[in-house]
């Protein structure tokens, strides 16, 4: 599969459906296309290109393939421990708190945050904006129904992250599933937002964008970092995934480390206006 074939397919998807994968990491895109071709019994990219353009079901399958929605509750417990220790005290100083989960997938991360904010007595003054460009994932997130197969692992994560209650007090079990409590959902706003093509989301105190930028090429990472910088208040906090960072972006100097290992950064105070655009 040549680079030209891949870029022609991505261009066609963008023109027809408005989803822009042109600056995603080539290795990631190549793997996912190969996978879809073998699952659909297709032999070359031109075949998949013409099917994607003709058949919205195939297009939607490919979009699901390209948007990896793997997630967990309290994923990387050390990160959540650090969030409790260093970020919560910062958030406590604000009369109201806006948190943005960018690339929230099926919502486990946003429910984890809602639990922490409840335990810290902050949830009533918090709004959590949980966004993704994958509407199917967002619909599942909104329902808040997860398979109980994962609950054992989530419970361990929760305990290691400094959980103060029993995780089971936040859901009810129902025929192999767990249903997250309504009280956690009440301040979560689920919204479709594309980090590549949509603009600044809101003036927020905390942004979590974990395990999303890893799929983006450097220029696109930079573009998205600009969006985050302009969405955060002065002194706001940015959290990235364990394999992500700011070092190779234009914004490295604009943040202080809160916890270098856990990829938690605090936006420096700006005397002049925020960066243009
Ligand atoms: C691996 S999941 C990460 C989920 C969660 N943040 C975590 O760390 O567990 C990556 C998510 O990013 C979303 N995503 C990828 N590109 C995106 C874009 N351009 N705009 C918004 N979301 C995007 C995918 O749909 C997917 O749900």
pLDDT digits (tens, 9 = 90+) for 9-47: 999 999 999 999 999 999 999 999 999 888 888 888 888
Please, are residues 230 and 238 in contact by the beta-carbon 8 Å criterion? no
What residues are in contact with ligand 1 under a 6 Å CB criterion?
Answer: 67-71, 75, 103-105, 109, 132-134, 137, 194-196, 210-212, 241
DSSP, collapsed to helix, strand or coil, labels residue 69 as coil
**pLDDT reported for residue 272:** 58
The residue ranges of every structural domain in the chain are 3-66, 77-267
Q: Is the pLDDT of residue 100 over 80?
A: yes
pLDDT digits (tens, 9 = 90+) for 206-231: 999 999 999 999 999 999 999 999 99
Order of strands, sheet of 188-192, starting from the edge strand that comes earlier in the sequence? 188-192, 126-132, 97-102, 204-209, 232-240, 264-267, 255-259
Residue closest via CA to ligand 1's atom 10 equals 212
- Percent residues over pLDDT 70 in the chain: 97
Strands 255-259 and 97-102: unpaired
Q: Is the pLDDT of residue 201 over 60?
A: yes
Q: How far, in Å, is the centroid of ligand 1 from the Cα of 105?
A: 5
Ligand 1 atom closest to Cα of 197?
19
Strands 204-209 and 232-240: parallel
Superfamily of domain 77-267: Vaccinia Virus protein VP39 (3.40.50.150)
Residue closest via CA to ligand 1's atom 3 equals 211
Strands 232-240 and 264-267: antiparallel
**pLDDT reported for residue 273:** 54
Would you give the end-to-end CA distance of the chain in angstroms? 37
**pLDDT reported for residue 277:** 43
Helix-then-strand count for the chain, H and E: 11, 10
- Percent residues over pLDDT 90 in the chain: 83
């Amino acid at each position: 599969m040549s680079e030209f074939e891949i870029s022609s397919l991505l261009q066609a998807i963008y023109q027809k459906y408005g989803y822009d994968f042109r600056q995603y990491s080539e290795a990631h895109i190549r793997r996912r296309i190969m996978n879809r071709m073998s699952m659909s019994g297709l032999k070359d990219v031109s075949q998949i290109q013409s099917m994607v353009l003709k058949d919205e079901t195939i297009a939607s399958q490919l979009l699901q393939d390209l948007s990896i929605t793997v997630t967990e509750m309290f994923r990387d417990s050390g990160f959540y421990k650090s969030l409790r220790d260093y970020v919560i005290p910062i958030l406590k100083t604000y009369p109201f708190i806006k948190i943005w989960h960018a690339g929230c997938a099926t919502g486990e991360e946003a429910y984890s945050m809602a639990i922490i904010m409840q335990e810290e007595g902050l949830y009533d003054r918090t709004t959590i904006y949980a966004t993704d460009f994958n509407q199917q994932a967002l619909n599942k997130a909104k329902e808040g129904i997860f398979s109980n197969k994962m609950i054992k692992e989530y419970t361990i994560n929760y305990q290691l992250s400094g959980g103060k209650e029993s995780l089971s007090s936040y859901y009810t079990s129902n025929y192999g599933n767990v249903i997250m409590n309504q009280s956690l959902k009440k301040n979560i706003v689920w919204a479709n937002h594309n980090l590549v093509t949509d603009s600044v989301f809101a003036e927020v105190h905390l942004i979590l964008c974990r395990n999303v930028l890893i799929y983006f090429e450097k220029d696109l990472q930079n573009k998205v970092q600009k969006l985050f910088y302009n969405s955060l208040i002065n002194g706001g906090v940015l959290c990235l995934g364990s394999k992500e960072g700011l070092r190779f972006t234009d914004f490295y100097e604009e943040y202080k480390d809160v916890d270098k290992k856990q990829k938690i950064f605090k936006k420096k105070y700006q005397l002049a206006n925020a960066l243009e655009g």
